[in-house]
Amino acid sequence: MVLYGIVVPLPKPSFTRSEQTIISFDPSTNRMSDAASRRRRGDYVFVVNPKGANGRTGKEWKKLLPYLRSRVGGDCNICESITSGPSHAIDITREAIREGVDAVIAVGGDGTLHEVVNGFFWEGKPVLAHDQGAKRSTALGIIPLGTGSDFARTFCWSAMAGYYAGRYKRFGNLCYVFGALRAFMGHRNQDLKIKVDGGEWEVYSDVTALCIGNAKYFGGGMKITPTADPCSRNLEVVILQNFKWLCSESNE
Ligand SMILES: Nc1ncnc2c1ncn2[C@@H]1O[C@H](COP(=O)(O)OP(=O)(O)OP(=O)(O)O)[C@@H](O)[C@H]1O
């Protein structure tokens, strides 16, 4: 197992790989191949944000790790990589891909996933493995254990988070609700000129929020762009207008 604990410079990862012998069937001879072929065990790097969901990601991960080892540890090398701060997940991911690992799995919320996805690219181009280049591809995985984990929710992948993190997820969602309410307390609606897709400029009065999304959820499960589809290559634009506190209405 590899454990990173330093931000910069990153220690060069030394992913341990173990070889496993498999016996192959040769259809031309209808015999089991005498020469046993060698199959490399996959290297899966789990990039864990211990501070996600107010520290609960780290705690849940500690419980999940033995389970993962027991379920898939025989088939792959499970490498745990703990992030030490913002952007560290990007560096870990890039380094892991360059080392030729088979999968990088983001363990945390949307922020961690965002960093891991960015780690797949460097200067606008995909990061490649040092030795095998484009021949080798690295899969991206996610274990949604963040406060909102809205990306996973969009694909209905939050069941696992719901199972492991069900106790605190509702608090996470409430955090977003409280945050939104607090933000709205000092909020003033604005008139906005908006132009979409090269169309005409249009004036929208009393705009409360302009939401642009390629996925349905935001802020821990708020369906803010309800028909957005991440596979459509389109962004959905939702304009919320004329938000008022009931009490302020009665004062007018
Ligand atoms: N060790 C760390 N200490 C402090 N912050 C960290 C650390 N590792 C990563 N981070 C930062 O924490 C941010 C938020 O983490 P993450 O998205 O995993 O959790 P969350 O905010 O609870 O979930 P969500 O974004 O789904 O609501 C990340 O964008 C990352 O920059």
What is the full per-residue pLDDT of the chain (252 aa) written as tens digits?
A: 332 322 233 334 433 333 333 333 344 543 434 433 344 678 999 999 999 999 999 999 999 999 889 888 888 899 999 999 999 999 999 999 999 999 999 999 999 999 999 999 999 999 999 876 667 789 999 999 998 888 887 776 654 434 443 444 445 556 565 556 666 666 788 899 988 888 999 999 998 888 888 988 877 778 889 999 989 999 999 998 887 766 554 444
| Residue 26 token pair | 């040769």
Give 40 Cα–ligand 1 centroid separation in angstroms: 33
What CA–CA distance (Å, rounded) separates 28 from 46? 41
Q: Are 20 and 39 in contact (CB under 8 A)?
A: yes
Q: What angle do CA 112, 116, 122 make, to 5 degrees?
A: 140
Structure tokens, 162: 């719901």
Ligand 1 pocket, Cβ-based, cut-off 6 angstroms: 49-53, 83-86, 88, 108-112, 115, 146-149
Compute, in angstroms, the gap from residue 35 CA to the centroid of ligand 1. 48
pLDDT at 160: 42
Per-residue tokens: 55: 């520290």
Phi and psi at residue 126, to the nearest 5°? -65, 140
Q: In this structure, which residue's CA is closest to atom 2 in ligand 1?
A: 85
- Which one from 43, 102, 110, 150 is the annotated catalytic residue? 110
CA distance 173 to 179: 10
What is the spatial distance between Cα 15 and Cα 141, in angstroms, rounded to a whole number?
18
Gap from CA of 176 to ligand 1 centroid (Å): 15
The answer, yes or no, to whether the previous bond of 144 is cis (omega within 30 of 0) is no
Cβ density class 222-244: b for 16+ within 10 Å, e for less: bebbeebeeeeeeebeeeeeeee
Establish whether 110 is a catalytic residue: yes
- Rounded distance, CA 65 to CA 52, Å? 16
Residue type, 65: L
Contact status, residue 101 vs residue 107, Cβ threshold 8 Å = no
pLDDT at 189: 87
Structure tokens at 215: 């996925």
